[in-house]
Amino acid sequence: MTDSISYDILIIGSGIAGLRAAISAVSVDSKLRIAVISKVQVMRSHSVSAEGGTAAVIFEEEGDNQESHIYDTIKGSDFLADQDVAEKLVRSMPFEIYQLDHWGMPWSRRKESGRIDQRWFGGYSFPRATYAQDKVGFFEMQTLYDTCLKHDNIHFYNEWFCTSILTGDGNHSGKNSNNNFRGVTAIEMKSGNFFKIKAPAGIICTGGAGRIYSFSTYAYSSTPDGLDMAYRAGLALKDMEFVQFHPTGILPSGILITEGARGEGGYLINNQGERFMKKYAPKSLELASRDVVSRAMMKEIEEGRGFKHETGVHCLKIDLTHLGAERIRERLGGIREIGIKFSGIDIINEPIEIRPVCHYMMGGIHTNIDGATEMKGLWAAGEAACNSTHGANRLGANSTGECLVWGKITGELAAHYALNHKSDSLEISEHQVLEEEKRIYDGIFRGNGQINPYEARKELTDTMDAKAHVFRNEKDLAEGLKKVREIKVSTWKHVDDHAREYNTNFINVMELDSMIRTAEVVLIGALNRHETRGAHAMKEYPKRDDINFLKHTLAYYTASGISADRDNINNEDGSKMGWFPVTFTRYTPVERHY
């Protein structure tokens, strides 16, 4: 008999969105029992790695205004953002900045006035990235975690791995819009025991899928478990082809050099010593949107104006030496430490080698403007969700803001839903629990295979690096999809370590299972979008096509692969994807210039 635990609200994921949701839910009713379930210890959530800032308009008297922030976000998205969602983000953010301040967030401040300081970030018309040196994610997480600990009814389940969503009727195939959320199945990593955790309301806050790439800023734990869990439960993944490549990942690790480094005045240079962004974005230079900068960098490299790193990889450099030692130590101390430890370079004295790196997924679980999924009682927030805030390209510093805003919104909605459904029966069909046990224990833990799953994982992530990077083409994407599907059907589903306690081998293979399905969705979405828009740049289709592709992509899971909701598109292999309309409220698409 599977062990069972019951709560009023389950929050899966303990990053900024998850912690903000927990605080928001408990503020509705302090008697609600809330569980925050995380496969890592809370302060190991990848949100701690956010560096540069959180965007908000907080000084309108200095010339900035919310309408400018809304437009910058929509323009940055290459006009694929849902405009009502972008507005909700911008209108909500000033409150979140001041709320964090009241909870103890150590925002960096202006020396002369003591007011909260803001720095420039790419794609913005004003300096509106509110920051805490270059460790904003760590400080936001610590502030939120400390606040959570003040509430006895927020319970943390550290190092628990959620494996599936449980529903009221047990149906896990096709579109599940009429199902009710009833909980999740999870493995307590400490003991290896399998549990069903029941609740009438849930919020998925598990972050993005960036570890499907090898060269990535993401923590190694940032695999798409939450996305895949929703996908297998019949919920749509939206806009997954839009993968953001941040311009400045250091070599060879891929660790992020914050956009704040360019916001403070850093220069991107090629092997001729040129600030090459003058050719690509003469007005904004290094502070154009990330998709524009990354494409410019790759073009410089392709045309032979890059440097060759000692590993053999071609790259460019970011030069911060002209900022001076005092400013670097004060505002970019963490980046200086990263450069010394991981590249052997002190940015005070010399430029550091960088290259575009996988950094964010604009796509995620399809939600509405309030973060509600297609399943009753289930919401999604943060990078795991796609409420279409960012469209085809996210502006830096809007992601931590998204986590805060929709953490608050979904926490409140889930709390009210839980209160209204406390008397609901949480009976769950044992069939779906047994099916999940069979999938993960018979299919993976006790599976048979000759292929090393860690080698399969590296082959998958290397394939994504090679075939679905900044510039894409149909041949590479098709070859990448073929390779991913070859890995999918190969015999890698087996676990050599048969211990029950802390079996990270088992967890790693289950992560790979989710990575393969998610990578497949990314590649199929990219193959079906015949245009260049935001982070999706196709060599065969170098222009944006608003007539045919000003719409979101949706992917639904079926036993045979991917099916569609609207306007099916057939691929050669028979899999399908669908489309969903973009919401326009104020701005007509125009050609972007920076």
Q: Are 396 and 414 in contact (CB under 8 A)?
A: no
518, 212 in Cβ contact below 8 A?
A: yes
Strands 3-6 and 193-198: parallel
Q: Which residue has the tokens 């965007």?
A: 55
The pair of structure tokens assigned to 561 is 């692969």
Strand partners, 570: 576
Q: What are 380's two structure tokens?
A: 């999604």
Task: State yes or no: cis peptide before 200, omega within 30 of 0.
Answer: no
Of 9, 8, 25, the C-alpha closest to 406 is 25
Residues serving a catalytic function are 246, 262
Give 118-152 as a DSSP string: EE--TT-SS--EE-STT-HHHHHHHHHHHHHTT-T
The Cα-based distances of 369 to 83, 150, 209, 477 in angstroms read 10, 30, 22, 31
Return left, alpha or beta for 220; rule: phi > 0 is left, psi -120 to 50 is alpha, else beta. Answer: alpha
Contacts of 10 (CB under 8 A, 6+ apart): 35, 37, 183, 184, 197, 199, 201, 202, 203
Q: Which segments of 17-69 are extended strands (E)? A: 34-38, 54-55
Nearest of 74, 69, 118 to residue 91 by alpha carbon = 69
User: Contact, 356 vs 247, CB < 8 A?
Assistant: yes
Q: How far apart are CA 379 and CA 203, in angstroms?
A: 5
Instruction: Say if residues 256 and 248 touch (Cβ distance below 8 Å).
Output: yes
Nearest residue to 538 via CA among 291, 366, 342: 291
Q: Which helix (H) or strand (E) holds 103?
A: helix 83-103
Instruction: Give the pair of three-digit tokens for residue 523.
Output: 């590649």
CB 404 within 8 A of CB 20: yes
Q: What span, in angstroms and rounded, lies between the C-alpha atoms of 47 and 50?
A: 6
How many angstroms from the chain centroid is the CA of residue 470? 17
CB-based contacts of 102-109 (< 8 A; 24+ apart in sequence): 103/143, 103/144, 103/146, 103/147, 104/143, 104/146, 105/132, 105/139, 105/140, 105/143, 106/132, 106/139, 107/131, 107/132, 108/132, 108/133, 108/331
Whether 546 and 522 have beta carbons less than 8 Å apart is answered as no
**How many Å from the N-terminal Cα to the C-terminal Cα in the chain?**
61
Can you tell me the distance from the alpha carbon of 539 to that of 541, in angstroms, rounded to the nearest whole number? 6
Strand partners, 569: 577
